[in-house]
Amino acid sequence: MTSIKDVAAEAGVSVATVSRVLNEHPSVSEDARARVLAAVASLGYRPNAVARSLRTDQTHTLGLVISDVLNPYFTELARSVEEEARALGYSVIIGNADERPELQDHHVRTLLDRRIDGLLVSPTDGGSPLMLDAARAGTPMVFVDRWIPGVDVPVVRADGRGAVRDLVVHLYRLGHRRLAIIAGPAATTTGQERVEAFREALEECGLDLPDQYIGQGDFQAASGRRATERFLDLAEPPQVVFAADNLMALGALDAVRARGLRVPDDIALAAFDDIRWFVHTDPPITAIAQPTGELGRAAVRALVDRIEGRAPRSVTLPARLVVRRSCGENPATNRSQS
């Protein structure tokens, strides 16, 4: 690999001058600049980012630790994060935690070892010592989607409360009274909040959320399937299953299908997180859509603000209900589907 020394030799100047040209330092003669640029071009020289990072203590890299790459919601998030980061001059290294705390820690650790400039996390759990220490030690950090209470880190997320209420009202109007939920892990904020929002909305409608109608999932398809099977085994199964994320909804669909039952005739289904495929499933699935792209971009902006010394702001954006056919026909609202 050609180094700055080779360029300096080729251009007949010192390495300092080469560096100045490359970093657009003002005090370089026109002549020197031209010779350096010519040398750079003829040698095909590219600065070694590793060496540069060591010296400047900046990597221009953000770490993104997401809960599950196979979840379309997170891959869309990752995409928008990378896009915005690139626009701001940063690269992104993605770590996939697969909803496993120890894998999450592994990625946080290697990202910190690489001295990334900042960390974007959607925590899988209540927060390992490692992550809490890093936050306390001053590593620029922002939580996306999920967060850890009691830690002084900005949070960028969607508020699904209103949309969940809309959903419950929608279900109520369709005549459903026994509503069940497949919850996410209690260790995650989104796991808890969605259940709470659901319960509150039910109460507003004068409905109850019995324990047996709360299935415990882990945001993965298999758990959605298991929870749904348990619901179907009940003496009085629910009329609606609301999955707290799209993968558990997929699992629920598997379970219903395996029993030879049909959605929405035998049981209705709704999901948190809207994804493209929901338009084409059988039937199309009613879902709560998050402004995923906007969340990713806002998170990056907050993190970069923090890194570059500006004050980062937490952001909460509203989610919205998208009605399709998986909860039954409703001519009035049905038209608003996409």
Q: Pick from a copy of itself, DNA, none: which does 28 bind, CB < 5 to 8 A by kind?
A: DNA
Q: Is 31 in the site for DNA (CB under 7 A)?
A: yes
Q: Pick from a copy of itself, DNA, none: which does 76 bind, CB < 5 to 8 A by kind?
A: a copy of itself
- Under 8 Å between Cβ of 82 and 97: no
Q: For residue 132, which of 145, 115, 116, 150 has the smallest C-alpha distance?
A: 150
As a whole number of angstroms, the distance between CA 312 and CA 223 comes to 36
With CB under 8 A, what is the number of residues at the site for a copy of itself? Answer: 45
Q: Taking the complex as a whole, how short is the minimal distance between the CB of residue 62 and a copy of itself, in angstroms?
A: 12
Q: Is 32 in the site for DNA (CB under 7 A)?
A: yes
Q: Is 250 in the site for a copy of itself (CB under 8 A)?
A: yes
> Any idea which residue has 């869309």 for tokens?
76
Interface region with DNA, contact rule CB under 7 A, candidates 10-18, 162-170, 177-185, 253-261: 10-18
* Cα dihedral 39, 45, 46, 49 sign: negative
64 CB-near residues (< 8 Å, 6+ apart):
78, 81, 82, 92, 93, 94, 95, 119, 120, 121
Q: Is 70 in the site for a copy of itself (CB under 8 A)?
A: yes
Q: Is 55 in the site for DNA (CB under 7 A)?
A: yes
Q: For residue 289, which of 303, 276, 307 has the smallest C-alpha distance?
A: 276
Q: In whole angstroms, how large is the CA radius of gyration of the chain?
A: 25
Q: Is 260 in the site for a copy of itself (CB under 8 A)?
A: no
As a whole number of angstroms, the distance between CA 288 and CA 295 comes to 15
As a whole number of angstroms, the distance between CA 111 and CA 131 comes to 11
> Any idea which residue has 């589907």 for tokens?
337
- Under 8 Å between Cβ of 53 and 22: no
Residues 263 to 302 in contact with a copy of itself, rule: CB under 8 A: 276-277, 279-284
Beta strands at 320-322 and 286-289: parallel, antiparallel or unpaired:
antiparallel
- Under 8 Å between Cβ of 227 and 252: yes
Q: Is 24 in the site for DNA (CB under 7 A)?
A: no
As a whole number of angstroms, the distance between CA 266 and CA 72 comes to 27
Q: Residues 88-127: x/- map of binding to a copy of itself (CB under 8 A)? A: ---x-xx-x---------x--xx-xxxx------------
Q: Is 258 in the site for a copy of itself (CB under 8 A)?
A: no
Q: Taking the complex as a whole, how short is the minimal distance between the CB of residue 166 and DNA, in angstroms?
A: 52
- Candidates 5, 25, 136, 257: give the one binding a copy of itself (CB under 8 A): 257
Residues 219 to 238 in contact with a copy of itself, rule: CB under 8 A: 221
Which residues bind to DNA, rule: CB under 7 A?
Answer: 1, 3-5, 12-17, 19-20, 22-23, 26-29, 31-32, 47-48, 51-52, 54-57
Binding site for a copy of itself (CB under 8 A): 1, 44, 46-51, 53-54, 59, 69-70, 72, 75-76, 78-79, 82, 86, 91, 93-94, 96, 106, 109-110, 112-115, 133, 221, 250, 253-254, 257, 276-277, 279-284
